[in-house]
Structure 1
Amino acid sequence: MQVAQRSRMGVKSDMFQITLYLTFPVTMFWIANPAQWFEDLIQQKKELWPPEENQCQQLEDFKGKIRKQQEKLLAAAQQSY
Protein backbone atom coordinates (compact mmCIF):
# COMPACT_ATOMS: atom_id res chain seq x y z
CA MET A 1 0.00 0.00 0.00
CA GLN A 2 2.78 2.42 0.80
CA VAL A 3 4.53 1.65 -2.50
CA ALA A 4 1.45 2.70 -4.48
CA GLN A 5 1.24 6.01 -2.62
CA ARG A 6 4.92 6.72 -3.18
CA SER A 7 4.63 6.12 -6.92
CA ARG A 8 1.65 8.48 -7.21
CA MET A 9 3.57 11.18 -5.39
CA GLY A 10 6.49 10.62 -7.75
CA VAL A 11 4.21 11.17 -10.74
CA LYS A 12 2.91 14.40 -9.22
CA SER A 13 6.42 15.70 -8.61
CA ASP A 14 7.43 14.69 -12.14
CA MET A 15 4.47 16.56 -13.59
CA PHE A 16 5.43 19.62 -11.54
CA GLN A 17 9.00 19.43 -12.78
CA ILE A 18 7.95 19.06 -16.40
CA THR A 19 5.56 22.00 -16.06
CA LEU A 20 8.28 24.12 -14.48
CA TYR A 21 10.84 23.10 -17.11
CA LEU A 22 8.46 24.10 -19.91
CA THR A 23 6.93 27.27 -18.49
CA PHE A 24 10.09 28.90 -17.17
CA PRO A 25 11.94 29.26 -20.52
CA VAL A 26 8.79 30.21 -22.40
CA THR A 27 7.92 32.86 -19.80
CA MET A 28 11.45 34.25 -19.78
CA PHE A 29 11.48 34.46 -23.57
CA TRP A 30 8.10 36.21 -23.54
CA ILE A 31 9.30 38.75 -20.95
CA ALA A 32 12.75 39.38 -22.44
CA ASN A 33 11.85 39.58 -26.15
CA PRO A 34 8.96 41.94 -26.82
CA ALA A 35 8.13 42.16 -30.51
CA GLN A 36 7.69 45.94 -30.40
CA TRP A 37 11.33 46.32 -29.34
CA PHE A 38 12.52 44.46 -32.43
CA GLU A 39 10.23 46.49 -34.69
CA ASP A 40 11.57 49.74 -33.22
CA LEU A 41 15.15 48.56 -33.66
CA ILE A 42 14.59 47.63 -37.29
CA GLN A 43 12.87 50.95 -37.97
CA GLN A 44 15.84 52.83 -36.49
CA LYS A 45 18.27 50.90 -38.70
CA LYS A 46 16.20 51.72 -41.78
CA GLU A 47 16.32 55.39 -40.88
CA LEU A 48 20.09 55.33 -40.33
CA TRP A 49 20.94 53.36 -43.46
CA PRO A 50 18.22 53.71 -46.10
CA PRO A 51 18.59 51.36 -49.05
CA GLU A 52 20.29 52.91 -52.02
CA GLU A 53 18.49 52.98 -55.35
CA ASN A 54 21.61 51.63 -57.06
CA GLN A 55 21.60 48.58 -54.80
CA CYS A 56 17.97 47.84 -55.60
CA GLN A 57 18.65 48.05 -59.33
CA GLN A 58 21.73 45.80 -59.00
CA LEU A 59 19.67 43.27 -57.08
CA GLU A 60 16.96 43.23 -59.75
CA ASP A 61 19.61 42.82 -62.48
CA PHE A 62 21.16 39.91 -60.58
CA LYS A 63 17.76 38.25 -60.18
CA GLY A 64 17.19 38.60 -63.92
CA LYS A 65 20.55 36.99 -64.72
CA ILE A 66 19.79 34.08 -62.39
CA ARG A 67 16.36 33.58 -64.00
CA LYS A 68 17.93 33.52 -67.49
CA GLN A 69 20.51 30.95 -66.36
CA GLN A 70 17.78 28.80 -64.83
CA GLU A 71 15.77 28.96 -68.05
CA LYS A 72 18.84 27.93 -70.08
CA LEU A 73 19.57 25.03 -67.74
CA LEU A 74 15.94 23.93 -67.83
CA ALA A 75 15.87 24.08 -71.62
CA ALA A 76 19.13 22.10 -71.84
CA ALA A 77 17.76 19.48 -69.44
CA GLN A 78 14.55 19.14 -71.43
CA GLN A 79 16.48 18.73 -74.70
CA SER A 80 18.62 15.96 -73.25
CA TYR A 81 15.53 13.85 -72.57
Structure 2
Amino acid sequence: MIIAVLWLSFAASLISLIAGIMNQSWKLALSSFFLLLPLGYYLSGAENVIRILSALPAVPLILAVIFYFQSGKSNFRQKEK
Protein backbone atom coordinates (compact mmCIF):
# COMPACT_ATOMS: atom_id res chain seq x y z
CA MET A 1 0.00 0.00 0.00
CA ILE A 2 2.78 2.41 0.90
CA ILE A 3 4.60 1.64 -2.34
CA ALA A 4 1.46 2.50 -4.31
CA VAL A 5 1.22 5.86 -2.54
CA LEU A 6 4.89 6.55 -3.29
CA TRP A 7 4.42 5.73 -6.99
CA LEU A 8 1.32 7.93 -7.20
CA SER A 9 3.17 10.73 -5.46
CA PHE A 10 6.08 10.32 -7.86
CA ALA A 11 3.78 10.36 -10.91
CA ALA A 12 1.94 13.46 -9.68
CA SER A 13 5.28 15.11 -8.97
CA LEU A 14 6.52 14.46 -12.50
CA ILE A 15 3.33 15.87 -13.99
CA SER A 16 3.58 18.92 -11.74
CA LEU A 17 7.27 19.40 -12.53
CA ILE A 18 6.74 19.19 -16.30
CA ALA A 19 3.85 21.65 -16.12
CA GLY A 20 5.92 23.93 -13.88
CA ILE A 21 8.84 23.94 -16.30
CA MET A 22 6.62 24.58 -19.29
CA ASN A 23 4.83 27.47 -17.57
CA GLN A 24 7.84 28.57 -15.50
CA SER A 25 5.59 28.46 -12.46
CA TRP A 26 7.28 28.44 -9.09
CA LYS A 27 4.07 27.21 -7.45
CA LEU A 28 3.94 24.05 -9.56
CA ALA A 29 7.66 23.40 -9.02
CA LEU A 30 7.18 23.83 -5.27
CA SER A 31 4.24 21.41 -5.27
CA SER A 32 6.46 18.95 -7.13
CA PHE A 33 9.01 19.32 -4.35
CA PHE A 34 6.44 18.51 -1.68
CA LEU A 35 5.16 15.53 -3.66
CA LEU A 36 8.70 14.13 -3.95
CA LEU A 37 9.47 14.43 -0.24
CA PRO A 38 7.91 11.07 0.77
CA LEU A 39 9.91 9.25 -1.91
CA GLY A 40 13.10 11.02 -0.86
CA TYR A 41 12.48 10.08 2.75
CA TYR A 42 11.81 6.46 1.77
CA LEU A 43 14.98 6.24 -0.31
CA SER A 44 17.10 7.78 2.46
CA GLY A 45 16.76 4.50 4.35
CA ALA A 46 18.46 2.49 1.61
CA GLU A 47 21.86 1.05 2.39
CA ASN A 48 23.37 1.14 -1.08
CA VAL A 49 23.93 3.55 -3.95
CA ILE A 50 20.18 4.20 -4.26
CA ARG A 51 20.50 6.42 -1.18
CA ILE A 52 21.86 9.14 -3.48
CA LEU A 53 18.38 9.41 -5.03
CA SER A 54 17.08 10.74 -1.71
CA ALA A 55 18.42 14.12 -2.85
CA LEU A 56 16.01 14.09 -5.80
CA PRO A 57 13.53 16.55 -4.17
CA ALA A 58 16.23 19.23 -4.30
CA VAL A 59 15.82 19.59 -8.08
CA PRO A 60 12.24 20.96 -8.03
CA LEU A 61 13.09 23.12 -5.01
CA ILE A 62 15.99 24.75 -6.86
CA LEU A 63 13.77 25.27 -9.90
CA ALA A 64 11.07 26.83 -7.72
CA VAL A 65 13.56 29.31 -6.29
CA ILE A 66 14.86 30.18 -9.76
CA PHE A 67 11.34 30.65 -11.15
CA TYR A 68 10.36 32.75 -8.12
CA PHE A 69 13.22 35.18 -8.61
CA GLN A 70 12.61 35.33 -12.37
CA SER A 71 8.95 36.20 -11.82
CA GLY A 72 9.91 39.52 -10.23
CA LYS A 73 7.97 38.94 -7.01
CA SER A 74 11.02 38.95 -4.79
CA ASN A 75 12.05 42.03 -2.81
CA PHE A 76 15.77 41.41 -3.39
CA ARG A 77 15.80 43.13 -6.74
CA GLN A 78 16.34 46.85 -6.75
CA LYS A 79 13.58 48.80 -8.35
CA GLU A 80 14.71 50.73 -11.38
CA LYS A 81 13.75 54.39 -11.51
TM-score, structure 2 as length reference: 0.29
Q: Which has the higher contact order (CA 8 A, sep 6+)?
A: 2
Bigger radius of gyration among the two = 1
TM-score, structure 1 as length reference: 0.29
Q: Which has the higher helix share?
A: 1
